[in-house]
A and B are shown apart, each in its own frame.
Chain A
Amino acid sequence: MTEHQTVSGRPSTRYPYQDEYAESLFAKGFAKGFAKGRAKALLVCLGELGITVSDENRSGVMRCADVAVLDEWLDRALEGKSAEEIFQPEDFEA
């Protein structure tokens, strides 16, 4: 297996794909996984900050594919806001 770098410089151990179609599928999976990773990170942070997240909001976070929205939630959490203040109903309308 060859080692090559992703855009961010993270080393990757996957096989380099030979055609653009396969590459685009990888990119699609990557974007999806990236949002999931960010969402999971947000939930870990909220837990660490002692903020209780309802099941509904939790699944809303995990379903969220918009990195900007995930970012906004993290900002609010770090500003010391409560769960009610962090998650606005309109955040989930996308």
Chain B
Amino acid sequence: MVTSQHEGLTQIATFDLEGTRDMLRALLPVPIPKAGGSVIASPDLSEADPGVCRADAAILYGKGKEKIGVIVETQRSPDQEKHYSWLEYIANFRAREKCRACLVVICPNEKVARWAEQEIVTGHPGLTLKVLAIHKWNTPVITDVAQASENIVLAVISAVTQSEHPKFVQIAAAMQGALGGIDPAIACRYARYTSLSLEGDAQREWNRGMKTMTYPYQDEYAESLKAEGKAEGKAEGRAEGEARSVLLIFDKRGIVVSDEVRSLVMRCADEAVLAEWLGRAIEVESAEEIFD
């Protein structure tokens, strides 16, 4: 299931690959080279059946012998199916890129973390997969702005994994302070991704901190949220206004509309299609005819 938290964490991991490099190097025992470039790879890791085998993100670090593929998954709840597909991701990515590959799973909650830590036994002697889980037990509790600034992506990821920590208020404050020291446009994006990745009390605390407006990027953030909210509302309202009009015309013309037609019309968000239906709604004798 795709959710906002899922989206937020994947964005954090792929927004700035150099930042992610620092975060991965700080957390995991994987030989990710310090230099040598980085590139987002296609997360479609199917061998022959596209769409079936798709990771959340895939990154390639380094060149030549140092090249290594990092598959990033964010997991919000245990999913036994992943015990089959993860191995396939690694195998296919490795085969496609002809390099080493590893799989990192970001676990925002404890339940998933415990599950992700389990070894996946394939049945082949020696081939046992233990994914590289990032969770509250192996991420630092950063309550200091200077420390958060040293490795921004690590701080962002840790703020999410430590969202239930008793010191979360200080963690959020340190993170927001650190974002105050970088490019406001980038800080804005991280603030948004973090907000999406958090849930419940932690999310409320994060948003409360964002509203204190101590740093310039927080102004920008509030403005962008406002503009976005209004624009999204407007686009949805517009489509709904047009869809309603189609049904209204039927009602006014005394034409009976089945539940099926009603739901098909109300679900349509394509303005060109709605305009066509509107034109037909005036002439047809039965509601179903607008789809002809």
Contacts and interface: CB of A to CB of B under 8 A. Distances in A.
Partners in one complex: yes
Interface of A: 1-2, 6, 8-12, 14-19, 22-23, 25-42, 44-45, 47-49, 71, 74-75, 78
B120 interface: no
Contact of A17 (B229, B241, B249, B269): B229
A15 B245 contact: no
Nearest to B204: A18
B236 A14 contact: yes
A41 B241 contact: yes
Contact of A15 (B4, B266, B278): B4
Contact of B234 (A1, A10, A36): A36
A25 B4 contact: no
B4 A2 contact: yes
A8 to B, nearest CB: 6
A14 B283 CA distance: 35
Closest 6 CB pairs between A and B?
A37-B241, A29-B233, A33-B237, A41-B245, A33-B234, A34-B237
Given A15-B4, A33-B235, A33-B236, A45 B249 contact: yes
Given A18-B207, A34-B244, 14 more contacts: A10-B269, A14-B232, A23-B229, A30-B233, A31-B237, A33-B240, A34-B238, A36-B237, A38-B245, A44-B275, A48-B279, A71-B248, A74-B249, A78-B253
Contacts of B263: 9
Contacts of B2: 1-2
B249 A78 contact: yes
A84 to B, nearest CB: 20
Contact of B283 (A18, A33, A37, A48): A48
Contacts of B278: 41, 44-45, 48
A26 B267 contact: no
A74 B248 contact: yes
A10 B7 CA distance: 22
B252 A78 contact: yes
- Residue in B203, B204, B226 whose Cβ sees the most chain A Cβ within 10 Å: B226
B237 A41 contact: no
B282 A45 contact: yes
A10 B266 contact: yes
Nearest to A40: B242
A26 B252 contact: no
B4 A75 contact: no
Contacts of A32: 233-234, 237
B206 to A, nearest CB: 9
Contacts of B282: 45, 48-49, 78
A14 to B, nearest CB: 5
A30 B245 contact: no
Nearest to B283: A48
Interface in B167-215: 195-196, 203-204, 207
Nearest to A25: B229
Contact of A35 (B207, B241, B252, B267): B241
25 contacts: A2-B2, A6-B240, A10-B243, A10-B266, A17-B229, A19-B207, A26-B229, A29-B229, A29-B230, A29-B234, A29-B237, A30-B236, A31-B233, A33-B239, A33-B240, A33-B241, A37-B238, A40-B242, A41-B241, A41-B246, A41-B278, A44-B278, A44-B279, A48-B282, A74-B249
B3 interface: yes
A37 B236 CA distance: 9
Contact of B241 (A16, A26, A34, A75): A34
B225 interface: yes
